[in-house]
Amino acid sequence: MDHQQFAELYDAHARAVYAHAVRMTGDRAGAEDIVSLTFLEAWRLRDTFDRVTGSRAWLLGVATNVVRNTRRAARRHRDALARLPPPDPVPDPADAVVSRLTDTDRATAALAVLGRLRHADREVLVLSVWSGLSHDEVARVCGVKVGTVRSRLSRARARARARLRVLTAAQLAQHPSPTAGKGNP
């Protein structure tokens, strides 16, 4: 059977195979899948096609076998899933969102503080704290002595802490705690 003959076979019997699949499965969407699988299997088995039996009967036989195989596969899949251990509890996504918001607020505050530092202090602080370089490595990158790195880092940390305190106080003033002023510690 060549491509043209198979296309004619499909055109002549696709509706009958679909109706048969709907009756067998009781599911229109599932029947569409059965029709697709039936014609794929029919193409694979086209050399076994017996013209004496008739194309409609042959295709309905293929469709019936596809339905059986699909049901067996679904049962095996359900059984395999039933043997799996129960899944671990899933964390509440709201917690992750709140955490990200808090992290975003912190990152925004840190960037605001960094933006207010002198360039040399910011450079040393970023290389040392965020990039994890040693004092010797920072000195090489910046082209300064290790003692200069230490003093810049000390100054940058002190200024960053002071600016962060001011920024945090301003944020708290804008967004007071719900328990503030109610006698709660």
pTM of the model: 0.47
Q: What is the mean pLDDT of residues 34-46?
A: 93
CA dist., res. 86 & res. 40, Å (int): 37
SS3 percent helix, strand, coil of the chain, rounded to 5, is: 80, 0, 20
Q: How far does the chain reach from its first CA to its final CA, in angstroms?
A: 86
Q: Which sequence spans correspond to the domains of the chain?
A: 3-83, 106-174
Q: Is the predicted pLDDT of residue 72 greater than 90, yes or no?
A: yes
The percent of residues above 70 in pLDDT, for the chain, comes to 82
Segment 94-121, tens digit of pLDDT:
666 556 656 677 777 777 777 888 888 8
Segment 123-158, tens digit of pLDDT:
888 888 878 889 999 898 889 999 999 999 999 889
Q: What is the pLDDT of residue 55?
A: 86
Q: Which top CATH class is 3-83?
A: mainly alpha
Q: Which top CATH class is 106-174?
A: mainly alpha
